[in-house]
Amino acid sequence: MVLVTEIYSITGTFPVSEIYGLTSQLRRSAVSIPSNIAEGYGRNSTNDYKRFLQIAVGSLYELQTQIEIAFNLKYLEDQKRIEIIDLSIEIDKMLYSIIQKLK
């Protein structure tokens, strides 16, 4: 949830021309991560939960790629890029750990 809040905050500073482009993509990727975790947990099935956790990981990687694109386009300062990537790596480790425990 912290990552989603950060993404909404930084994308608020992106050019208006990106509202339907990179801003929208980043926000959807970010929201998809906790949403898939919650949906998978709510399925009451270990296999479904693992599948939704893997989808969340895919969304996380998508977000990391989009952050790099935003940085390359100079929409994002390097320090903020590093903070978001570090947070996303921490989330990736947590998701990997949960997935391994479910196997």
Whether 52 contacts 40, CB under 8 Å: yes
H-type alpha helices, the chain: 2-11, 22-42, 46-72, 78-102
72: in domain: yes
Domain containing 82 — which CATH number?
1.20.1440.60
Q: What pLDDT is recorded for position 52?
A: 98
69: in domain: yes
40: in domain: no
11: in domain: yes
Question: CA 65, 9, 21: angle at the middle one, nearest 5?
Answer: 50
Q: Residues 24-53: pLDDT tens digits?
A: 999 999 999 999 999 999 999 999 999 999
39: in domain: no
67: in domain: yes
Q: Which domain holds residue 85?
A: 2-31+60-102
Is the pTM for the entire model greater than 0.75?
A: yes
48: in domain: no
Count of domains observed in the chain: 1
Q: What pLDDT is recorded for position 56?
A: 98
Whether 7 contacts 26, CB under 8 Å: yes
DSSP 14-36: S-GGGTTTHHHHHHHHHHHHHHH
Band (103; pLDDT cuts 50, 70, 90): confident
Q: What pLDDT is recorded for position 101?
A: 96
Whether 14 contacts 75, CB under 8 Å: yes
Q: Residues 60-84: pLDDT tens digits?
A: 999 999 999 999 999 999 999 999 9
